[in-house]
Structure 1
Amino acid sequence: MGKFAKWLGAGVGFTLGGPIGAILGYTLGSFVDGFSIQDFTQEQEEYKQQTQQRTRVHATSGDFEISLLILASVVIKADGKVDRRELDYVRMHFVKMYGKDRANHAFKLFSGIIKRQISTRQVCMQIRQHMTHSSRLQLIHFLFGIAKADGNVSSSEEQEIHKIASYFYINDYDYTSIKAMFYNESDSAYKILEITKNVTDDEVKKAYRKMAKKYHPDRVQSVGEEHLVGAKEKFQKIQSAYEKIKDERGMS
């Protein structure tokens, strides 16, 4: 498989096994010359033998990357069509996070993944077992960005992302906060900070400190420095929401 295999194997941990591993195996077998599903199954077994002494395989940068690709394909197909703007959004963010060469490899794999039927529940359960809550929140933020890439988050796309969030064990407060970052509504700033308009100024400040801590970019460093780009974008939206509320209320 040459350079493509080296890219896929670099830094990949828990995604080599389970339902995600099966998706990768079938996808690779469809477009990589000389590579069979049996080859990938053997690689999975070798990986399991190497890690059988460990009770938990933690997420790596490669795992986060694969998870993004698979879930992105689910959201893009949610409204029954594949929009070029959404595909371009995925490619743009992968170039920004990983560089052009690595992004090209990722998008080659993505072009095969998007053609496959995926059990969202099984994939999300596998991700949930190995990825931190902060990293799962980052995935949801990325998926909303994909859905909004064509200018509008359709109801079918939002429903699919909500389903993914529920499989991730993300509560309604966290989900509504991230969702509000992509909607221009009168109370969006308050929703982002997980508060309502009738709270006091002191409660606004307290909510901001809580959210700034929860969404600080350092919380996703475990899955690679490259993911700080998206984390910083999310953190900036928290700050912007707070500044907007301060201006509206005339807070110091």
Structure 2
Amino acid sequence: MSGFKWIGATIGWALGGPIGAIIGLALGSAGDAFSSGKYNPFLSEGEASNRKSGGYSAEQRPQTHSGDFEVSLLILASVVIKADGVSDPRELDYVRSQFVGMYGKERANKAFKLFKEINNQTINTRQVCLQIQRMMDHPSRLQLLHFLFNIAKADGMVIDEEERQIATIAGYLNISSRDYNSIKAMFYNSSDNAYKILEITKAASADEIKQAYRRKVKKYHPDKVEHLGEEHKKGAEAKFKEVQKAYEQIQKERGL
């Protein structure tokens, strides 16, 4: 399997609409293409009709696969990295290292080559995010958000421009402010971060703390993204551990 033909076997819905245009241009710039007649990189006519009419309902939404998540991640990572007008080498290295950890060196190198071509494009963030929102399930979108914060902090801190860009992306992805602030709190140091992660205040009772923890465990459990493949399930464990850490910190502070 030469060049980027590996991607054809793993991407489903992501190659239609604005994402399809971005990936198509990136593949063309990289000097490769899908084998003629073997794989259609655009949505079928029926799927295109669903997209034009407002997309799928939550019940109809097609299952997100590893490749769909991957190309969404590549595009949004480019948006965040360029938020401050500079592509920091540490952030680029973080993207590469994460892909190596998830997919292995060979596939990661091909993905990163594609990422560099995407990074040269001007991306309509709203259009891309609206496509993702229509097609990707909520747990996978939360995982995307967590990864974007990881990228932003790869150089040591999340700067204001990056945080504003991630907040904009979260809005387009239809991620609630509560979910957004919970994930954001995982990347900052403050006295009330543990409470923010659990989506409660310091006035919460012991029972409310336990209830909040159980809700978060259910929402952020790695099994929620097991359909993306083992590589992404492992990535979700970091987010899950932050919830556990926050709960343990509050317990310790209150002597529970």
Structure 2 length-normalised TM: 0.90
Q: Within 5 A, what are the aligned runs for 1:213-232?
A: 213-232=218-237
Q: 1:52 to 1:122 in 2, by over 3 A?
A: closer
Distance 1:56 1:229 in 2: 24
Q: 1:124 to 1:248 in 2, by over 3 A?
A: same
Percentage of matched positions with identical amino acids: 59
Distance 1:197 1:8 in 2: 47
Structure 2 residue aligned with 1:176 = 181
Instruction: String of CA shifts for 1:46-102, please: whole Å, max 9, x gaps.
Output: x51696899754321101000000000000000110000000111111111111111
Distance 1:11 1:170 in 2: 26
Q: Within 5 A, what are the aligned runs for 1:174-213?
A: 174-213=179-218
Q: 1:50 to 1:12 in 2, by over 3 A?
A: farther
Aligned-residue RMSD, C-alpha: 2.1
Q: Within 5 A, what are the aligned runs for 1:115-134?
A: 115-134=120-139
Structure 1 residue aligned with 2:118 = 113
Per the TM alignment, residue 5 of structure 1 is displaced from its structure 2 partner at its CA by 3.0
Structure 1 residue aligned with 2:55 = none
Q: Is the 8 A contact 2:8 2:41 kept in 1?
A: no
1:62 aligns with 2:67: yes
1:150 aligns with 2:146: no
Structure 1 residue aligned with 2:244 = 239
Per the TM alignment, residue 11 of structure 1 is displaced from its structure 2 partner at its CA by 1.4
Distance 2:61 2:138 in 1: 16
Structure 1 length-normalised TM: 0.92
SS of the aligned residue for 1:170 comes to coil
Which of 90, 93, 100 matches 2:98?
93
1:48 aligns with 2:44: yes
Distance 1:168 1:178 in 2: 14
Gaps of at least 5 residues in structure 2 are 51-59
Structure 1 residue aligned with 2:53 = none
Distance 1:131 1:231 in 2: 16
Instruction: String of CA shifts for 1:196-226, please: whole Å, max 9, x gaps.
Output: 0011111111110110111000001122221
Structure 2 residue aligned with 1:167 = 172
Distance 1:149 1:229 in 2: 19
